[in-house]
């Protein structure tokens, strides 16, 4: 920005490198969100039928301007009167927000449980899979096998002995060039210490015991019933399809859960692909998270783009975390769905101030050039100047004037419609 603004910048309180990292993370997520929107947008399909992530931060809920808010410490800025999609799988911006809430819930449960003398285990369920299998053909039998396993006598008997308080299921999937889609389930089991009659863990943290072998055998039996295991891969499954790790690993899993690093959203992971952008980044030993696929798609990798689309089609509507019945109550955690978690900041927060307003045409410009994240980072950093509205207007004017050729910048706006007896809102497309 021009020197007029930079001269007035005060160093915000707090660790400036941590603030930079946070701002950079948000910028990256907004960039990836714009990529997801292009990938998920379907030509000649009406706006209402598009994937909801297509309109995330592009759907104005009131006619007129959108207030721009800035955190007083300069860490972030946001718009209000705008719709967010709340999609944990497809939207890098919303998923980060939802994950923050979900991680706090998990940490809260873990702290209470261990303070009361309990122990948490991390049980992982997986199965053999091959390149060329679609995600849909894997997920259906996997889900059924998992449900019948969690209802089987063997599992219930082990859990009863362990005085199980409850289980949180965490669903994940990665993609590898060697073996294709790799769906797996992590189960955080809240119970008593020594639940599996286990000894010390091996070097990789895996526990072993008769009970664990027995459970693994049972899991493989359920996989065979669903034709996910046969003679060709049974010995692999008998070794690896189920593993159990102890409290330290469960705590680490929770601490990392939903973080950019774990989801392939950190700068090292995304920019590595952005820089090379070549297919040689694929390899049998590599697994990519869905958001890494998205980053690769953003650099023109068509294979990654198709994979991301397939992933969203299959995972949309699935729950990322499922708490067993009564477990949230047990820890005193209120139920909140993903949409609510994503929209949480809609309440005006005491640690922020309104610095101006964004007009719909300005939002269109930011959308067209894919610069909403950069804009919000700029407001976070410089929004404490004396005339922030002028800063906002000039920044966007410069973008519209000097920016590279952009994409379409269509947005939706809810307009209040009035007929004889009824008032209602209709979303109108503005191009
Ligand atoms: Zn979203």
> What's the 28 CA to ligand 1 centre distance in angstroms?
14
Please tell me whether residues 335 and 365 are part of one structural domain: no
> What's the 259 CA to ligand 1 centre distance in angstroms?
17
Please tell me whether residues 57 and 134 are part of one structural domain: no
> What's the 407 CA to ligand 1 centre distance in angstroms?
19
For the segment 96-109, the average pLDDT, to the nearest whole number, is: 90
> What's the 96 CA to ligand 1 centre distance in angstroms?
9
Q: Whole-angstrom Cα distance, residue 363 to residue 358?
A: 7
- Of 310, 342, 374, the last residue of a domain is 342
Asked if 90 contacts 51 with a C-beta cutoff of 8 angstroms, the reply is yes
pLDDT digits (tens, 9 = 90+) for 359-411: 999 999 999 999 999 999 999 999 999 999 999 999 999 999 987 776 778 88
Tell me, yes or no, whether 91 lies in a domain.
no
> What's the 183 CA to ligand 1 centre distance in angstroms?
23
Pairing relation of β-strands 180-191 and 77-79? unpaired
For the segment 269-298, the average pLDDT, to the nearest whole number, is: 60
Q: Which of 269, 268, 219, 265 has its CA nearest to residue 244?
A: 219
E strand or H helix that includes residue 424: strand 423-430
Asked if 353 contacts 100 with a C-beta cutoff of 8 angstroms, the reply is no
For the segment 56-72, the average pLDDT, to the nearest whole number, is: 92
Model pLDDT, residue 344? 64
Please tell me whether residues 234 and 304 are part of one structural domain: yes
Tell me, yes or no, whether 391 lies in a domain.
yes
Model pLDDT, residue 305? 95
Model pLDDT, residue 347? 57
Whether 9 shows a pLDDT value over 50: the answer reads no
Model pLDDT, residue 1? 37
Tell me, yes or no, whether 348 lies in a domain.
no
Asked if 168 contacts 187 with a C-beta cutoff of 8 angstroms, the reply is yes
State the total domains in the chain.
2
Q: Whole-angstrom Cα distance, residue 182 to residue 130?
A: 9
Model pLDDT, residue 314? 97
Tell me, yes or no, whether 7 lies in a domain.
no
Lowest mean pLDDT among 54-68, 199-213, 265-279, 346-360: 265-279
pLDDT digits (tens, 9 = 90+) for 124-179: 999 999 989 999 999 999 999 999 999 999 999 999 998 899 999 999 999 987 88
> What's the 85 CA to ligand 1 centre distance in angstroms?
4
pLDDT digits (tens, 9 = 90+) for 290-325: 999 999 999 999 999 999 999 999 999 999 999 999
Q: Which residues surround ligand 1, an ion (CB under 5 A)?
A: 56, 84-85, 91, 94
Alpha helices in 116-233 (DSSP H): 135-150, 153-161, 210-225
Please tell me whether residues 109 and 145 are part of one structural domain: yes
> What's the 91 CA to ligand 1 centre distance in angstroms?
5
Please tell me whether residues 146 and 290 are part of one structural domain: yes
Tell me, yes or no, whether 8 lies in a domain.
no
Model pLDDT, residue 14? 55
For the segment 109-133, the average pLDDT, to the nearest whole number, is: 93
- What mean pLDDT value characterizes the chain? 86
Model pLDDT, residue 126? 94
Q: If DSSP codes are grouped into helix, strand and coil, which group holds residue 332? A: coil
What share of the chain in percent tops pLDDT 70?
Answer: 90
265: confidence class by pLDDT, cuts 50, 70, 90:
low
Please tell me whether residues 66 and 103 are part of one structural domain: no
Sign of CA dihedral 233, 222, 159, 251: positive
Please tell me whether residues 71 and 187 are part of one structural domain: no
> What's the 156 CA to ligand 1 centre distance in angstroms?
38
Tell me, yes or no, whether 306 lies in a domain.
yes
Please tell me whether residues 386 and 291 are part of one structural domain: no
> What's the 217 CA to ligand 1 centre distance in angstroms?
41
Strand partners, 81: none
Tell me, yes or no, whether 90 lies in a domain.
no
Model pLDDT, residue 427? 79
Q: What DSSP state is assigned to residue 302?
A: H
Please tell me whether residues 173 and 322 are part of one structural domain: yes
272: confidence class by pLDDT, cuts 50, 70, 90:
very low
> What's the 343 CA to ligand 1 centre distance in angstroms?
10
For the segment 229-240, the average pLDDT, to the nearest whole number, is: 92
Please tell me whether residues 70 and 171 are part of one structural domain: no
Q: Is 203 exposed, middle or buried (0-12, 13-18, 19+ CB in 10 A)?
A: exposed
Whether 335 shows a pLDDT value over 90: the answer reads no
Whether 244 shows a pLDDT value over 90: the answer reads yes
> What's the 352 CA to ligand 1 centre distance in angstroms?
22
Whether 4 shows a pLDDT value over 60: the answer reads no
For the segment 247-273, the average pLDDT, to the nearest whole number, is: 71
Please tell me whether residues 243 and 178 are part of one structural domain: yes
> What's the 13 CA to ligand 1 centre distance in angstroms?
30
Q: Six-digit token pair at 98?
A: 């939802």
Q: Whole-angstrom Cα distance, residue 7 to residue 66?
A: 28
pLDDT digits (tens, 9 = 90+) for 195-211: 999 989 998 889 999 99
3: confidence class by pLDDT, cuts 50, 70, 90:
very low
Q: Six-digit token pair at 144?
A: 């059924």
Tell me, yes or no, whether 349 lies in a domain.
no
Q: Six-digit token pair at 408?
A: 């379409």
Asked if 92 contacts 36 with a C-beta cutoff of 8 angstroms, the reply is yes
Whether 349 shows a pLDDT value over 80: the answer reads no
pLDDT digits (tens, 9 = 90+) for 19-60: 888 888 889 999 999 999 999 999 999 998 999 999 999 999
Its domain, for residue 28, covers 13-84+358-430
Please tell me whether residues 364 and 328 are part of one structural domain: no
């Amino acid at each position: 920005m021009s020197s007029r603004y930079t001269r007035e910048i005060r160093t915000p309180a707090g660790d400036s490198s941590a603030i930079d990292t946070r701002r950079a993370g948000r910028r990256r997520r907004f960039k990836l969100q714009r990529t997801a929107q292009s990938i998920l947008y379907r030509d000649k399909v009406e706006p209402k039928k598009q994937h909801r992530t297509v309109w995330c931060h592009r759907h104005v809920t009131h006619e007129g301007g959108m207030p721009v808010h800035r955190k007083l410490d300069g860490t972030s800025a946001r718009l209000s009167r705008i719709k967010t999609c709340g999609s944990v799988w497809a939207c890098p911006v919303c998923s980060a927000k939802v994950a923050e809430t979900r991680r706090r819930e998990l940490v809260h449960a873990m702290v209470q449980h261990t303070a009361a003398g309990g122990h948490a285990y991390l049980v992982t369920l997986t199965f053999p899979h091959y390149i060329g299998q679609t995600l849909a053909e894997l997920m259906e039998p996997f889900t059924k096998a998992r449900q019948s396993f969690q209802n089987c006598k063997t599992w219930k008997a082990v859990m009863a002995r362990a005085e199980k308080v409850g289980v949180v299921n965490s669903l994940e999937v990665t993609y590898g060039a060697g073996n294709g889609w790799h769906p797996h389930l992590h189960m955080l089991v809240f119970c008593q210490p020594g639940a599996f009659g286990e000894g010390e863990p091996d070097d990789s943290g895996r526990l072993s015991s008769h009970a664990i072998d027995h459970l693994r055998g049972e899991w493989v039996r359920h996989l065979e019933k669903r034709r996910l295991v046969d003679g060709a891969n049974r010995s692999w499954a008998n070794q690896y399809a189920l593993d159990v790790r102890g409290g330290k690993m469960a705590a680490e899993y929770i601490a990392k859960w939903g973080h950019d690093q774990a989801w392939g959203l950190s700068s090292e992971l995304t920019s590595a692909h952005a820089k090379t952008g070549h297919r040689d980044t694929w390899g049998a030993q590599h697994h990519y998270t869905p958001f890494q696929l998205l980053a690769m798609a953003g650099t023109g990798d068509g294979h990654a783009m198709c994979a991301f689309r397939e992933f969203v089609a299959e995972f949309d509507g699935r729950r990322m975390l499922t708490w067993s019945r009564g477990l949230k109550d047990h820890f005193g955690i209120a139920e909140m769905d993903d949409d609510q978690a994503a929209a949480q900041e809609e309440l005006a927060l005491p640690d922020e101030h309104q610095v101006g307003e964004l007009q719909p045409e300005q939002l269109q410009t930011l959308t067209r050039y894919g610069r909403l994240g950069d804009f919000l980072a700029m407001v976070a950093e410089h929004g404490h100047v004396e005339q922030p509205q002028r800063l906002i207007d000039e920044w966007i004017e410069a973008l519209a004037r000097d920016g590279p050729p952009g994409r379409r910048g269509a947005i939706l706006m809810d307009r209040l419609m009035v007929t004889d007896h009824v008032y209602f809102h209709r979303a109108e497309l503005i191009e």
